[in-house]
Structure 1
């Protein structure tokens, strides 16, 4: 399956921004006139979508800036920071919805089911189109914005169901119950994004990369007797970085160059696009060993 590049996603996010801003206003108005907490909750979720898209667009724009002497990696981490802020916003929104839903359960308020239904259907249509625009990206920043919208789409479906229920039964308690369910969905997606960004910010080994497989691929290169002092982390969701000491006794620099090129080529399948390899003939005694020495000559 072919994926759109970041420039195409920037255009998609701009379109999504306009649609989300428009329907956020529609849902707020609809929620106020209908008296529906679920609709206002969905509007709150859509507002977090709007912030997510603004941050995502800004981060992707910054990431296009070339590295400088003072910022040698450029602005790729801006994507992760945006996703981190988005996750915190989602957590705040979900807590607010849960609190209000609790009070509505204790003191049910009248709700106009018909207006609630019309606005919810309109919001659902907008969310489905935005999902179409943003689907398929491996970029964590775009993915976080996408998950915002997916969660909002699920909540829109719930609002429609609640509106139909209220129209036919008159039981307005469905409104705060649904609001609580929406809040839990928001919280789950927020926790997932939050953890993924923490892994990158703390420079843990990427979850999508098998560390042992990376080491095995490096060691299997002809001329490599072992690797150690290996550090593997993510610069952003699409670029992994590695530095390591390569144990090789090749005295011919041209052969070491060929070994290095082969290792770098093998690392590409792990999306390791930046690697720094230090070649040694003797084991580095003062380095913390991450991968033990393996002798290929055996």
Structure 2
């Protein structure tokens, strides 16, 4: 028989019992508001950085396409293609931030928070597709080498490296290990920066030794780096989209922690943990209180422990009475 069933809402203040019976719901609500304000400011900063990086990469992409065609360099064309996907991915990242900032509504009780994760997954797919295209073109160039204007290639690649370093610095200054959206954009620009380095090395080898095969070979190296980054972003964002269990929120660990650290908890069952975004875990579970324990006090204490020990500030805790115990 259910004693208490009070699911947590996204905006619900989190309270806990105190030795003197004082209710600290106000302080938890304040902490939640402060955390949300910090998250909003961080998101706004990330949006500004993404826009600046998109303007840089998109503006230089045209020059690199022209240079790649005139010089006959696959490395430059590959870098230009990478810049094209960079610009698209940065715009997509910005769009994800914009939608994620929208408030919840009756049709979407958690708002558009997952748009950032979806944007990150799409960027990962684009990186993988880009890597496949570069490798395909490189294979064709290896079988049929073409003449390359090394001087023009070197000048454009060097200028491209400067642009990419600036864009990388802009994004890296606001990067957070838990922001998959910004990480996806950062991987794009990092791959593009390495592409410019590869194009410079290829141009030097062509001018120095006349070895035109350096162009497609170094392009493959860039493609493999892009493939690595794309797969990593796809795996991390795909895990969230598939409602995978966040790292550190394994049911067995939650059960053991609550039983050991929350007074009045006799048993924990039906634990489900997933994530709305990379930094917003959600938990639902059932708790059986010990005989004589207050169901509401146990519920509050469990929510408090989940928030402080696991970072799960949005939890639904259902307290189930032990049928073997006398009714409270």
Contact 2:161 2:197 in 1 (8 A): yes
Contact 1:140 1:237 in 2 (8 A): yes
CA shift, 1:253, in A, is 4.9
Aligned to 1:293: none
CA shift, 1:167, in A, is 0.9
CA 273–210 in structure 1, closer or farther in 2 if over 3 Å, else same: same
Match of 2:156 among 109, 114, 119: 119
Match of 1:32 among 69, 73, 77: 69
In structure 2, stretches of 5+ residues that fail to align are 1-37, 324-328
Match of 1:265 among 295, 307, 310: 307
Q: Across the two proteins, how many residue pairs are aligned to each other?
A: 280
CA 239–102 in structure 1, closer or farther in 2 if over 3 Å, else same: same
State the SS of the aligned residue for 1:272: coil
State the SS of the aligned residue for 2:265: coil
> TM-score with structure 1 length normalisation?
0.88
Match of 1:221 among 237, 246, 262: 262
Is residue 215 of structure 2 the alignment partner of residue 175 of structure 1? Answer: yes
Contact 2:50 2:171 in 1 (8 A): yes
In structure 1, stretches of 5+ residues that fail to align are 284-298
Aligned to 1:200: 240
Paired residues for 1:23-102 under 5 Å = 23-102=60-139
Q: 1 CA distance for matches of 2:90 and 2:248?
A: 25
C-alpha distance after superposition, 1:95-123 (max 9, x if no partner) = 11111111100111111111111111111
CA shift, 1:213, in A, is 3.7
Contact 2:100 2:115 in 1 (8 A): yes
With a CA cutoff of 8 Å and minimum separation of 6, indicate the structure with the bigger relative contact order. 2
CA 261–234 in structure 1, closer or farther in 2 if over 3 Å, else same: closer
Highest CA radius of gyration, 1 or 2?
Answer: 2
CA shift, 1:29, in A, is 1.3
State the SS of the aligned residue for 1:65: coil
> TM-score with structure 2 length normalisation?
0.80
Is residue 224 of structure 2 the alignment partner of residue 184 of structure 1? Answer: yes
Match of 1:248 among 289, 293, 303: 289
CA shift, 1:209, in A, is 4.6
Contact 1:221 1:262 in 2 (8 A): no
Is residue 274 of structure 2 the alignment partner of residue 237 of structure 1? Answer: no
State the SS of the aligned residue for 1:240: strand
Aligned to 2:189: 149
Aligned to 1:276: 316
CA shift, 1:86, in A, is 1.2
State the SS of the aligned residue for 2:317: strand
RMSD (CA atoms): 2.0
Contact 2:303 2:315 in 1 (8 A): no
